[in-house]
Amino acid sequence: MERDWRRTRWRAIRSCRGVVVPALLLALWETGAALGVVPEDTMSRPSAIAVAGSRALTDGSLLLATVQTFQSALIGLALAAVIAIASGVLLGLLPAVEAVVGPTLDAIRPVPAVAIIPLALLIYGFGARMEILVVTFACVWPILIVAISAVRAMEPRLMDIARTLEMPLAARLWRIVLPAVLARIAVGVRVSAGIALVVAVTVEIVLNPQGLGYSLTVAAQSLHPDLMWAELLWVGVTGWAFNRLLTIIDRRWLWRFHTWAAA
């Protein structure tokens, strides 16, 4: 009993280690603002930032902006995942097709996502669809590259077994290819998830009048640094929580797909 209690206490201490540096920085920030070392007209102080963030949460404006940003980011990420996984599996299984399409993809891939904002604006105008298009373009490349390399690195004997069993193409893809490469593709999806949030906020700051990026711009232009810092910290917290959620899904639920696909 004593050993279990000590083990639990040690786990609690270990889980709190990551809070030490942020807590120390916030304490130094608050002290510097109180002493006049940190200019409050641009940096505010953590206590004022907490009050501004609480007000934004209470009146619902921060939650509405968060929903708008994550809606565009998640839809763009989902579209990118579908396009990239389907294309990556096809190009990985058919090197001849990849040899034809590959140079074109290599020429398009270096284009920055923000560079297609004018094109997306021309096609869709202001709004969520324009933002989703830019997010999809930015997120498709990491997943596509990982999917192609994962299929190529797949154990060749798996496909030999599928041919021996005379499995249809759809069954090969569902029961052989996807379970073999999904773990690696999940890494690409997690990378693209961070990119999706960054690009969504960037588009909102630059052009799209909605979401967290637009709220940050409005707070800065209206000379409310406390609200601006609160929203900026909120973006970091929500981004961390989103990445944590994807990690939990990857660790706890991905194996169920393998079991389901093999059934």
pLDDT score recorded for residue 4: 55
Q: Per residue, what are the HEC states of the chain?
A: CHHHHHHHHHHHHHHCHHHHHHHHHHHHHHHHHHHCCCCCCCCCCHHHHHHHHHHHHHHCHHHHHHHHHHHHHHHHHHHHHHHHHHHHHHHHHCHHHHHHHHHHHHHHCCCCHHHHHHHHHHHHCCCHHHHHHHHHHHHHHHHHHHHHHHHHCCCHHHHHHHHHCCCCHHHHHHHHHHHHHHHHHHHHHHHHHHHHHHHHHHHHHHCCCCHHHHHHHHHHHCCCHHHHHHHHHHHHHHHHHHHHHHHHHHHHCHHHHHHHHHC
pLDDT score recorded for residue 136: 92
Q: Whole-angstrom Cα distance, residue 1 to residue 133?
A: 57
Q: Tokens 């909120």 identify what position?
A: 234
| CATH number assigned to the domain with residue range 50-262, chosen from the 4 options 3.40.1360.10, 1.10.3720.10, 3.40.50.620, 2.60.40.10 | 1.10.3720.10
Which pair of tokens denotes residue 195?
A: 């990119």
Q: Whole-angstrom Cα distance, residue 32 to residue 39?
A: 9
pLDDT string in tens for the chain (263-residue length): 555 555 665 565 566 666 777 777 777 776 766 777 667 667 777 777 888 888 888 888 889 988 988 988 999 999 999 999 888 878 877 777 777 877 888 888 888 888 888 888 888 878 788 888 889 999 998 988 888 888 777 766 766 666 666 666 666 666 666 776 777 888 888 888 888 988 899 888 888 788 888 898 888 888 888 888 888 889 888 888 888 887 777 676 665 555 544 45
Sorted by where each begins, the domain ranges of the chain are: 50-262
pLDDT score recorded for residue 214: 87
